[in-house]
Amino acid sequence: MEKHTLLIKCQDTKGLVFKISSILLLHNLNIEQNNEFVDKTHNTFFMRTEISGALEHEKLLAEIHATLQHESEITLYSQKKKSIVIFATKENHCLGDLLIRHNSGDLNANILAVISNHAVLQNLVEKFEIPYHYIESDNITREEHEAKIIALCQSLNPDFLVLAKYMRILSPHFVQNFHNKIINIHHSFLPAFIGANPYKQAYERGVKIIGATAHFVNDNLDEGPIISQDIIQIDHSYTWQDMQKAGRDVEKVVLARALKLAIENRIFLHNNRTIIF
């Protein structure tokens, strides 16, 4: 049986759940899961509904739009595997984790390719029989390098780009080409510990937690809408090298969790925030 996910974001008014559910019933669609949230500050209603049954895509969306009678964002996804392209530089922990999840069937997505500005990780990726594209960046301009990557990504047409410790800052031009499709992972010390070796800086400040943040990428460095975060406790016995190892563990988990939420269409973007079901 066909399965779909319906996402609705609109102005909040009375009776929305009843009206939308009634339309789904008229189309002989079964609601398998439903979640709603109202942002009272902005009077905005969010609804995520998993439905099953045969449907006429455009007709259903048109009827919902007509029923809501005000500006709304309505998206209907078929529940099928998404496709992703992974970006990496030299660190292998986040990339390796995603490759293993994909290989074991735990990642509900197709990895179309891995793109890197170094050849360091090529042997690792090719063990999983996934295309590896080394696009050298040292002897060409940033614009030329990004143009090559943009062309490649557009030819692959992925649903998401995943920055698995990709250590290059993307230009606004690049980001605009993949609006709300780029997911990044970084240590949560930003912006307090900026620059080289944030774990050593954190060690010298005596921090007591290590964290990681996964977020969508926008034009402002590391300020995009946050998808997932987590922390682990540490103490004075940790060296900065120990902290770095622990940080890699939490980065892997947080990135995989964020990607799962995106793949399952569980994220609404609202200003610079996310609403997640």
Taking each continuous run of H as one helix and of E as one strand, the counts in the chain are 8, 13
Q: How many residues can be counted in the chain?
A: 277
DSSP string, 105-124: T-S-EEEEEEEESSSTTHHH
| Angle between helix 93-104 and 240-263 (nearest 10) | 40
Going by C-alpha positions, the residue among 226, 98, 225, 117 that lies closest to residue 166 is 117
Encoding tokens for residue 170?
């993307």
- Tokens 């990681």 correspond to 212
| Gyration radius of the chain over CA positions | 21
Out of 12, 222, 242, 249, the active site residue is 222
d(CA 72, CA 45): 10
| 222 is an active site residue | yes
Q: Are β-strands 82-88 and 72-78 bridged in parallel, bridged antiparallel, or unpaired?
A: unpaired
Please give the positions annotated as active site: 222
